[in-house]
Amino acid sequence: MPKLDPSSDEFRAAGHRLVDWIADYLDGVDRYEVLSRVKPGDIESRFAAAPGAKGKPYDALIAEFESKIVPGVTHWNHPAFFAYFSITGSQAGILAELLTAALNANGMLWKTSPSLTELEIVTLRWLRESLGLPNGLFGIINDTASINSFLALAAARDALGLDIRARGMTGRDLPPLKVYCSEHAHSSIEKGALALGFGADDVVQIPSDDAYRMKADALESAIARDRAAGALPCAVVATLGTTSTASVDPLPAIGAIARRQNLWVHVDAAYAGSATIEPSFRWLWKGIEHADSIVVNPHKWLFTPIDCSVLYTRKPAVLRNAFSLTETPAYLTMTDTAEINYMDYGLQLGRRFRALKLWMVMEHYGTERLCAVIRDHVGYAQQLAGELSKREDIELLAPQSFSVVVFRRIIRRDREVDEEGSERTTTELLERMNGSGRIFVSHTRLRGRFGIRVAIGNGATEWKHVARVLEFL
Ligand SMILES: *Cc1c(COP(=O)(O)O)cnc(C)c1O
């Protein structure tokens, strides 16, 4: 009888080789070009039309991985990766992923792997305390903030008490349901709302102030306008650390309005939330007592490999009501315990053992080291902003915030800024940076102005990597 893996001999040899490969990769990642320069289809064309009928030894596959696959990889582990929100697959996280794969546990129910559920409970309690979040929050790990914000909006919709779970949203007399967020909220809010049957027109984008923070008075008048028109306000999303500029919406004011108006408050702190492990950044949570749900991504700025996004909620019963099965199929019923079955708190049935990597990261590095690295990142961003603001030809497009810096190059004509010329020279600068292979930055548009956006978040980044930005000016 053929077995899939007749022995572990090949595995053992290849495994040792791969650990060495990974260590060499991490030590030498700066040798690679950050941004892959392959053309669309280049990688696809390197592979045969169908997989082989006969297997290949691991050595041959490792060689193919290096020659065919690595050239099309953009190196998120590169210390000069400053695009989007840079993330790190830390050594502790990589080792934990190896163990997760080895166990291949599926945590749909408590009993399908008690450690999976209970380590999730423990690590999320640790994380909550380490970030200075309030007591009494239920936590769950999902793959991304997008999914977690979707779950939060589902709970918000359920909390309206309109019996949507039983009766749905169509073929009945329902007012339009509204979700409010700032014009700088992440696109996942709109996507989540769409999936829940809100219309795109029902996701109301509230204008922001000079520092790209939601205007609370504009929120209040939008709610009043919608109520007058017969709509039903459902939820407001406050972003603490927006994607473009890391601006922070005024949660105390937003929360007070939401309380008066009986709205669910969802806090999207996917990026900046991790920074609050450092106590001096805890001001971020001002007003957090108003939040019904909060999302934080350890896979963004807490050195945990993607994917690991945490949803906290003060109202787990509402979330559970939105997602637990009315009648649990017999093969899923729990007779022996009353422990948490995480499948009841979200869309997925099967779930990976993601708490293992968060546990390994928190315990291996310890909170002091994590704080120190995050402080350094913010320090580098401040230093970069300081250097940039000394230059006549550079304009910071947003107040420097957390580890994000947004700037453009300006051209002046008769002392006036030449908008078109500035955009051209900034675009040219961006292309030169990203074409060099030495650095990868992204861009954004703020009040019509095109800017280069630098976000620092990689565990191996030093000032010398950040200083490369200045070399291109
Ligand atoms: C990155 C980001 C998201 C989306 O995160 P995913 O985990 O990739 O879905 C949502 N909100 C904010 C503020 C973000 O910065």
DSSP 82-142: ESSS-----HHHHHHHHHHHHH----SSGGG-HHHHHHHHHHHHHHHHHTTPPSS-EEEEE
Residue 74: partners with Cβ closer than 8 Å, 6 or more residues away: 34, 35, 36, 81, 440
Measure 69 CA to ligand 1 centroid, in angstroms: 27
Residue 313 contacts residue 138 (beta carbons within 8 Å):
yes
Residue 446 and residue 416 share a domain: yes
In a domain, 442, yes or no: yes
Q: Which atom of ligand 1 is nearest to the CA of 148?
A: 9
Q: Which two tokens stand for residue 52?
A: 């082989």
Domain final position from 301, 317, 352: 352
In a domain, 207, yes or no: yes
Q: Is the dihedral of CA 358, 362, 365, 369 positive or negative?
A: positive
Task: Answer yes or no: is the C-beta of 150 below 6 A from any ligand 1 atom.
Answer: no
User: For position 393, which CATH number holds?
Assistant: 3.90.1150.170
Task: Answer yes or no: is the C-beta of 309 below 6 A from any ligand 1 atom.
Answer: yes
Residue 335 and residue 205 share a domain: yes
Task: Answer yes or no: is the C-beta of 257 below 6 A from any ligand 1 atom.
Answer: no
Residue 312 and residue 233 share a domain: yes
In testing the pocket of ligand 1, which one of 243, 299, 302, 453 has its CB within 8 Å of the most ligand atoms?
243
Residue 275 and residue 251 share a domain: yes
Residue 223 and residue 148 share a domain: yes
Domain final position from 352, 385, 414: 352
How many distinct helices (H) and strands (E) make up the chain? 15, 14
Q: In this structure, which amino acid lies at residue 54?
A: K
Residue 326 and residue 366 share a domain: no
* Residue whose token pair is 């017969």: 230
* Residue whose token pair is 């509402």: 318
Task: Answer yes or no: is the C-beta of 384 below 6 A from any ligand 1 atom.
Answer: no
Task: Answer yes or no: is the C-beta of 181 below 6 A from any ligand 1 atom.
Answer: no
User: For position 291, which CATH number holds?
Assistant: 3.40.640.10
Residue 273 and residue 155 share a domain: yes
Q: What is the pLDDT of residue 339?
A: 74
Measure 412 CA to ligand 1 centroid, in angstroms: 36
Alpha-carbon gap, residue 146 to 201, rounded angstroms: 19
Q: Please list the residues that pair with 214 across neighbouring strands.
A: 208
Task: Answer yes or no: is the C-beta of 144 below 6 A from any ligand 1 atom.
Answer: yes
Measure 296 CA to ligand 1 centroid, in angstroms: 9
Measure 190 CA to ligand 1 centroid, in angstroms: 12
Q: Is the peptide bond before 24 cis (omega within 30 degrees of 0)?
A: no
Residue 374 and residue 314 share a domain: no
In testing the pocket of ligand 1, which one of 142, 271, 404, 453 has its CB within 8 Å of the most ligand atoms?
271
Where in the sequence is the domain holding 179, given as residue range(s)?
106-352
In a domain, 51, yes or no: no
Taking only the tens of pLDDT, the chain with its 473 residues reads 789 999 999 999 999 999 999 999 999 999 999 999 999 999 999 999 999 999 999 999 999 999 999 999 999 999 999 999 988 889 999 999 999 999 999 999 999 999 999 999 999 999 999 999 999 999 999 999 999 999 999 999 999 999 999 999 999 999 999 999 999 999 999 999 999 999 999 999 999 999 999 999 999 999 999 999 999 999 999 999 999 999 999 999 999 999 999 999 999 999 999 999 999 999 999 999 999 999 999 999 999 999 999 999 999 999 999 998 766 666 666 554 457 899 999 999 999 999 999 999 999 999 999 999 999 999 999 999 999 999 999 999 999 999 999 999 999 998 899 999 999 999 999 999 999 999 999 999 999 999 999 999 999 999 999 999 999 99
Measure 324 CA to ligand 1 centroid, in angstroms: 25
In testing the pocket of ligand 1, which one of 142, 144, 148, 188 has its CB within 8 Å of the most ligand atoms?
188
Alpha-carbon gap, residue 129 to 331, rounded angstroms: 36
Task: Answer yes or no: is the C-beta of 469 below 6 A from any ligand 1 atom.
Answer: no
Alpha-carbon gap, residue 416 to 419, rounded angstroms: 9
Residue 275 and residue 149 share a domain: yes
Measure 167 CA to ligand 1 centroid, in angstroms: 31
Residue 419 and residue 296 share a domain: no
pTM of the predicted model as reported, rounded to 2 decimal places? 0.96
Domain count for the chain, please give it. 2
Residue 344 and residue 459 share a domain: no
371-378: long-range contacts (C-beta < 8 A, 24 or more apart)? Answer: 371/277, 371/278, 371/279, 373/303, 373/459, 374/274, 374/275, 374/277, 374/278, 374/281, 374/301, 374/403, 375/278, 375/280, 377/301, 377/403, 377/456, 377/457, 377/461, 378/275, 378/281, 378/402, 378/403
Q: Which two tokens stand for residue 153?
A: 């909006």
Q: Please list the residues that pair with 446 across neighbouring strands.
A: 449
Q: What is the pLDDT of residue 89?
A: 83
Q: Which two tokens stand for residue 84?
A: 């989007």
Q: Which atom of ligand 1 is nearest to the CA of 241?
A: 13
Q: Which two tokens stand for residue 370?
A: 């994590």
* Residue whose token pair is 């893996």: 5
